[in-house]
Structure 1
Amino acid sequence: MMDFEVDIRTLLLTLVLGNLFTLLLITSYRRRYPTEGIGTWFVVAKWLQSLCWFLLLLRGRIPDMPFIPISNAAMLGGGGLEIVSLLSIKGCFGPAVRRYYIALSVFSVILYGGVYIVHNQENLRIAAASFAAMLFVVYPAGRFGLGREGSPLQRAIGLLYGGMAVIFAARSVSALQNGPSQTVFTPGHVSNLYYLGMFLLMNLGTAAFVLLSREQSLDELKRMAMFDELTGLLNRRSFLELAQPALDRARRMRETISFILMDIDHFKQVNDVYGHAAGDRVLREFAAAAGGALMGEGLLGRYGGEEFAVLLPGLDEGSSDETIGRLNAAIGGLSVEGVPLRYSVSIGVITLIPGSAATLDYLYRLSDTALYQAKREGRNRVVRVEPGCGGS
Structure 2
Amino acid sequence: MDILLVRLVTTISILLDSTTIILFLGIGYLLTFILISAYWRDVIRALTVRTFFLGKLAQSVSWFCVILRGDIPDFLSISIANSLMFVGVSLEIISLLSLRNEWRAGFRKLYLWGIWLGIIGFQLVILIHNEEDLRIVYGSFVLAFLQAPAYRLLRGSSLLMKVIGYFYLFVAAANVFRGATALLTDTSVSFFTPGIYQLIYLLAVYLLTVLSIMAFLLLWKEKINQELLHYASYDDLTGTLNRRMFTANAKASLDRYARKKEAVSYLLFDIDCFKDINDTYGHHVGDLVLKDVTNRIKQQLGENDLFVRYGGDEFGILLPGKNELESSTLAERIKNMLETAPSSLPVSYTVSIGVLTVVPDQHTLLEAMYKRCDQALYNAKRNGRNSIFRSQFSQ
Normalising by structure 2, we get a TM-score of: 0.89
The answer to whether residue 355 in structure 2 is matched with residue 349 in structure 1 is: yes
**Once superposed, what is the RMSD of the aligned Cα atoms?**
2.3
Aligned to 1:96: 106
The one-letter code of the counterpart of 2:152 is: R
Rounded to whole Å, the distance in 1 between the matches of 2:343 and 2:233 is 26
Aligned to 1:203: 210
The one-letter code of the counterpart of 1:17 is: I
The answer to whether residue 82 in structure 2 is matched with residue 75 in structure 1 is: no
The answer to whether residue 249 in structure 2 is matched with residue 242 in structure 1 is: yes
Is the Cα contact below 8 Å between 2:178 and 2:189 reproduced in 1? no
Q: Deviations over 1:246-290 (max 9, x none)?
A: 211101111111111112121122222222222212111111121
1:363 aligned to which of 356, 365, 369: 369
The one-letter code of the counterpart of 1:357 is: H
The answer to whether residue 300 in structure 2 is matched with residue 299 in structure 1 is: no
The one-letter code of the counterpart of 1:219 is: Q
Is the Cα contact below 8 Å between 2:58 and 2:85 reproduced in 1? yes
Partner SS state of residue 293, structure 1: coil
Rounded to whole Å, the distance in 1 between the matches of 2:240 and 2:343 is 19
Rounded to whole Å, the distance in 1 between the matches of 2:224 and 2:45 is 10
Identity %, equivalent residues: 37
Rounded to whole Å, the distance in 2 between the matches of 1:324 and 1:62 is 75
The one-letter code of the counterpart of 1:89 is: L
**Structure 1 gaps, min length 5:** none
Aligned length: 385
Partner SS state of residue 262, structure 2: coil
Q: Deviations over 1:279-314 (max 9, x none)?
A: 212111111121123254612121221111111111
Normalising by structure 1, we get a TM-score of: 0.90
Aligned to 2:341: 334
Aligned to 1:280: 287
Aligned to 1:374: 380
Q: CA deviation at 1:242?
A: 2.1
Rounded to whole Å, the distance in 2 between the matches of 1:337 and 1:97 is 33
Is the Cα contact below 8 Å between 1:41 and 1:85 reproduced in 2? yes
The answer to whether residue 152 in structure 2 is matched with residue 143 in structure 1 is: yes
The answer to whether residue 177 in structure 2 is matched with residue 170 in structure 1 is: yes
Q: 1:321 to 1:32 in 2, by over 3 A?
A: closer
Q: CA deviation at 1:25?
A: 1.0
- Which has the larger displacement, 162-171 or 107-116? 107-116
Matches within 5 A, 1:1-392: 1=1, 2-3=4-5, 4-5=8-9, 6=12, 7=16, 8-33=18-43, 39-139=49-149, 141-145=150-154, 147-148=155-156, 150-152=157-159, 154-179=161-186, 181-294=188-301, 296=303, 298-335=305-342, 339-340=346-347, 342-388=348-394, 391=395
Is the Cα contact below 8 Å between 2:181 and 2:187 reproduced in 1? no
Partner SS state of residue 218, structure 1: helix
Rounded to whole Å, the distance in 1 between the matches of 2:162 and 2:181 is 28
